[in-house]
Structure 1
């Protein structure tokens, strides 16, 4: 889960695009590594 689904939203502005993109990048790296090991 990333972005709004993971509650990665700034309560003061409702923003959170940076956190969502950063976590999405981490998630994709982990997924690629897991698929390569399989």
Structure 2
């Protein structure tokens, strides 16, 4: 979370490096699903 906002991040390993593919603000349904699981 950044400033109490949830983000969806897509990443991959490239050898020993983590490569960021995409980051965006989580949609309402994604945020609800996350909070249902993690509180």
Whether TM-score is above 0.5 comes out as: no
* TM-score, normalised with respect to structure 2: 0.31
Q: Which protein is richer in helix relative to its size?
A: 1
